[in-house]
Amino acid sequence: MTLEIITSDSLSPLRHGFFTRRGGASSGVFAGLNCGTGSSDQREIVAINRARVAEAMQVPIENLVTVHQTHSATVHVVESSVDDPRPKADAMVTNTPGMALGILTADCQPVLLADTQAGVIGAAHAGWRGALDGVLEATVEAMVDLGATHENIAAVIGPSISQKAYEVGAEFLDDFLAEDPGYARFFVNGENDRYHFDLPGFGLFRLRAAGVQAEWTRHCTYSDAERFFSYRRATHAREADYGRLIATIRL
175 lies in some domain: no
Q: How far apart are CA 79 and CA 76, in angstroms?
A: 9
Q: How far apart are CA 65 and CA 54, in angstroms?
A: 10
186 lies in some domain: no
Output the pLDDT for position 100.
Answer: 97
Residue 64's DSSP bridge partners are 100
- φ and ψ at residue 188, rounded to 5 degrees: -130, 155
What percent of the chain has pLDDT above 70?
Answer: 98
Which helix (H) or strand (E) segment holds residue 52: the answer is: helix 43-57
Asked if residues 140 and 212 have their Cβ atoms less than 8 Å apart, the reply is yes
Average confidence (pLDDT) over 66-76: 96
Tell me what the pLDDT averaged over the chain comes to: 96
Output the pLDDT for position 190.
Answer: 92
95 lies in some domain: yes
Residues 118-129 have pLDDT tens digits of 999 999 999 999
Q: How far apart are CA 86 and CA 128, in angstroms?
A: 23
190 lies in some domain: no
Q: Is the pLDDT of residue 82 over 80?
A: no
168 lies in some domain: no
Residues 148-200 have pLDDT tens digits of 999 999 999 999 999 999 999 999 999 999 999 999 999 999 999 999 999 99
Q: How far apart are CA 53 and CA 216, in angstroms?
A: 22
Q: Is the pLDDT of residue 81 over 90?
A: no
Q: How far apart are CA 180 and CA 36, in angstroms?
A: 34
Cβ atoms within 10 Å, residue 26 = 21
223 lies in some domain: yes
Structure confidence at residue 75 as a pLDDT band (50, 70, 90): very high
Output the pLDDT for position 85.
Answer: 77
Helices (H), 96-243: 128-133, 135-145, 170-179, 199-209, 231-236
Question: Nearest 5°: CA angle at 32, between 109 and 227?
Answer: 50
Q: Is the pLDDT of residue 141 over 90?
A: yes
User: Which amino acid appears at position 234 of this protein?
Assistant: A
We report the CATH number of the domain holding residue 206 as 3.60.140.10
Residues 200-246 have pLDDT tens digits of 999 999 999 999 999 999 999 999 999 999 999 999 999 999 999 99
For residue 124, give the 3-state DSSP assignment.
Answer: strand
- Taking the complete model, does pTM exceed 0.85, yes or no? yes
What percent of the chain has pLDDT above 90?
Answer: 95
Q: How many domains does the chain have?
A: 1
Q: How far apart are CA 214 and CA 111, in angstroms?
A: 10
23 lies in some domain: yes
Output the pLDDT for position 86.
Answer: 87
Q: How far apart are CA 18 and CA 244, in angstroms?
A: 12
Output the pLDDT for position 84.
Answer: 67
Q: Which residue has the higher pLDDT, 80 or 143?
A: 143
Q: Is the pLDDT of residue 89 over 70?
A: yes
Q: How far apart are CA 45 and CA 34, in angstroms?
A: 8
Domain that includes residue 122, residue range? 5-162+198-250
180 lies in some domain: no
